[in-house]
C-alpha cells in the first residue's frame, strides 16, 4: 500500500500562501514523526520499568496512545501534502482533462466540507473537556483537553492544506488529482 505512483506531491507554483501552507504541513510531518518516535521511546521505557526494575507502570500506556492519536491527526496535512492518502484514481485517469478538473473540484469541496464539520465539532469536544475539566478515568488521570486538542488542531491544519490544494487547483499551480500525464 502506498501512494498512487502517478501522483506527485502538491506543488506551490510560486503562490506565497500555498508555499507557506506547505511549510506548515511539512513541519506537521516532523512533529508527527517526533510523536511517533516519542511513543517508541516511552514504550521501551515502560518495558524497562516493568521487566527490569520490576515496578508497575502508571502513565506510559496512556501517554503512548495519546501520542499516536496526535501523530495521526497532526500528520494528516503532511500526508495530504505528499498526496499520501490512498485513493482509487481509475476514473480521474480515464476522464478528459476538463471533466477531471470538475471532478477534482467537487471531491476537494466535499473533502473540505466534511473536514470542516469534524474540525468544528472537535473544537466543541475540546472546549467542553477544557471548561468542565474532564479527566481520564485512570490512575494517572491526565486532563482530557490535552489529548483532545489533537483533534481540532489536526483537522484545522488539514483544512488549511486542503484550502491550499483548492487554490492550487483553481490557479492551475497543480494538475487535478496530481495526475501529470494529460
Partner 1 sequence: MDPLLLGLLVALATIVVLFSGVSVAVGLLIVAAGFLLAFDGPRSLEMLPEIFFADLNSFTILSIPMFIIMGAAIASTRAGADLFEALERWLTRVPGGLVVSNLGACALFAAMSGSSPATCAAIGKMGIPEMQKRGYPDGVAAGAIAAGGTLGILIPPSVTMIVYGIATETSIGRLFLAGIVPGILLMLLFMAWAIYATWASGNTAVLSPRHYSIRERFEILPRVVPFLLVIAGVLYAMYGGVATTSETAAVGAVLCLGMAVVIYRLWRPGAIWGVLRDSTRESVMILFIMAAAGVFSYMMSSLFITQSVAQWIAALDVNRWVLMAVINVFLLVAGFFLPPVAVILMTAPILLPILQAAQFDPYWFAVILTINMEVGLITPPVGLNLFVINSISPDIKLKTILWGSAPFVACMFLAIVILCFVPGLATWLPDLVMGPA
The site for partner 1 (CB under 8 A) is made up of 1-3, 5, 29, 32-33, 36-37, 39-40, 43-44, 46-47, 51, 61, 64-65, 68-69, 71-72, 75-76, 78-79, 82, 84-92, 103-104, 106-107, 110-111, 114-115, 117-118, 121-122, 124-125, 147-148, 151, 177
| All residues at 6 or more sequence positions from 175 whose CB lies less than 8 Å from its CB, including other chains | 182
Name residues whose C-beta falls within 8 Å of residue 110's C-beta, 6 or more positions apart in sequence.
none
Nearer to partner 1, 21 or 176 (CB): 176
Return the closest-CA partner of residue 180 out of 83, 112, 105, 109: 83
Q: Supply the minimum distance, in Å, between the C-beta of residue 19 and partner 1.
A: 20
Q: What are the grid coordinates assigned to 160, written together?
A: 488549511
Alpha carbons within 13 angstroms on the beta-carbon side of residue 115 total 21
Residue 86 and residue 143: Cα distance in Å, rounded?
Answer: 34
Residue 53 or 90 with smaller CB distance to partner 1: 90
Closer Cβ to partner 1, 21 or 148, answer by number: 148
Distance CA 33, CA 19 (A): 21
Q: Smallest gap, in angstroms, from Cβ of residue 3 to partner 1?
A: 8
CB of residue 120 to partner 1, shortest distance in Å? 9
Task: Between 147 and 168, name the residue whose CB sits nearer to partner 1.
Answer: 147
Within 10 Å of residue 109's Cβ, how many Cβ atoms? 12
Minimum Å gap between C-beta 34 and partner 1 is 9
Q: Centre a 10 Å sphere on the Cβ of residue 150 and count the other Cβ atoms it contains.
A: 21
**Smallest distance, Å, CB 15 to partner 1?**
23
Which residue lies nearer to partner 1 by CB, 16 or 52?
A: 52
User: What is the C-alpha separation between 182 and 180, in angstroms, rounded?
Assistant: 6
Amino acid at each position: 500500500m502506498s501512494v498512487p505512483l502517478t501522483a506527485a506531491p502538491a506543488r506551490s507554483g510560486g503562490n506565497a500562501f500555498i508555499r507557506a501552507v506547505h511549510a506548515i504541513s511539512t513541519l506537521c510531518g516532523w512533529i508527527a514523526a517526533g510523536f511517533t518516535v516519542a511513543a517508541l521511546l516511552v514504550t521501551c521505557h515502560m518495558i524497562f520499568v516493568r521487566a527490569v526494575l520490576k515496578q508497575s507502570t502508571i502513565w506510559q500506556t496512556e501517554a503512548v496512545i495519546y501520542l499516536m492519536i496526535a501523530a495521526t491527526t497532526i500528520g494528516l496535512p503532511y500526508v495530504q501534502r505528499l498526496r499520501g492518502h490512498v485513493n482509487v484514481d481509475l476514473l480521474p485517469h480515464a476522464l478528459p482533462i476538463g471533466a477531471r478538473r470538475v471532478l477534482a473540484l467537487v471531491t476537494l469541496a466535499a473533502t473540505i466540507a466534511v473536514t470542516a464539520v469534524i474540525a468544528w465539532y472537535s473544537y466543541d469536544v475540546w472546549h467542553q473537556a477544557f471548561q468542565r475539566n474532564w479527566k481520564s478515568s485512570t490512575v494517572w488521570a491526565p486532563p482530557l483537553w490535552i489529548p483532545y486538542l489533537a483533534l481540532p488542531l489536526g483537522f484545522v491544519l488539514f483544512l488549511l492544506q486542503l484550502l491550499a490544494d483548492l487554490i492550487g487547483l483553481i490557479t492551475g499551480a497543480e494538475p487535478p488529482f496530481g495526475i501529470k500525464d494529460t
